[in-house]
Amino acid sequence: MKDLVAVDKNWGIGKNNDLLIRIPEDVKFFKEETTGNIVFMGKNTLDSLPGGRPLKNRLNIVLTSKDIKDENIVVVHSVQEALKEIGKYNPDRVYNIGGAQIFREMLDYVEYSLITKIEAEFDADVYYPNLDKLDNWEVIEESEEREYEGIKYKFLIYRNKNFKR
């Protein structure tokens, strides 16, 4: 499983259950990576999607303590149940798309994190773990710097050297 996340300078990822910014190239990257694959998310992130609806052309797995009646969503109620469900698929095809709580809970089970690092500071209320401070995470790929409306950003791939299978 891979995390797919956009972070700001302070590793902030959202505010008021919405994203901090939408960078078109990043939105495109998200779509290209996930389409035809499996997306795993927490209930708040599901609620933050347009109309609170699952993403089209992807298998949506949602972690919640509640019940969701939606034939397009596979509902799981615990981390263990989530891992069992996710384990049915090729790990290369499974994307953990957040949010903050889910990223924290699943971090040990994630081998790669595809991070869009935005070189700006936003007023965030939820954060991704700062991987630069964790010994077991290393940067294995880093793109050139890009810019959108004066905001610089990069695509990075981090690898978890001792993730749990």
Ligand X SMILES: NC(=O)c1ccc[n+]([C@@H]2O[C@H](COP(=O)([O-])OP(=O)(O)OC[C@H]3O[C@@H](n4cnc5c(N)ncnc54)[C@H](OP(=O)(O)O)[C@@H]3O)[C@@H](O)[C@H]2O)c1
**Applying CB under 6 A, which residues contact ligand X?**
5-6, 13-14, 17-19, 41-45, 48, 63-66, 77-79, 97-102, 105, 126
Output 65 or 162, the one with its CB closest to ligand X.
65
Output 135 or 149, the one with its CB closest to ligand X.
149
Instruction: Give me the least distance between CB of 10 and ligand X, in Å please.
Output: 12
Instruction: Give me the least distance between CB of 81 and ligand X, in Å please.
Output: 8
DSSP string, the chain: -EEEEEE-TT-EEEETTEES---HHHHHHHHHHHTTSEEEEEHHHHHHSGGGPPPTTSEEEEE-SS----TTEEEE-SHHHHHHHHTTS-GGGEEE---HHHHHHHGGG-SEEEEEEESS----SEE---GGG-TTEEEEEEPPPEEETTEEEEEEEEEETT---
Instruction: Give me the least distance between CB of 7 and ligand X, in Å please.
Output: 7
Output 69 or 135, the one with its CB closest to ligand X.
69
Instruction: Give me the least distance between CB of 64 and ligand X, in Å please.
Output: 4
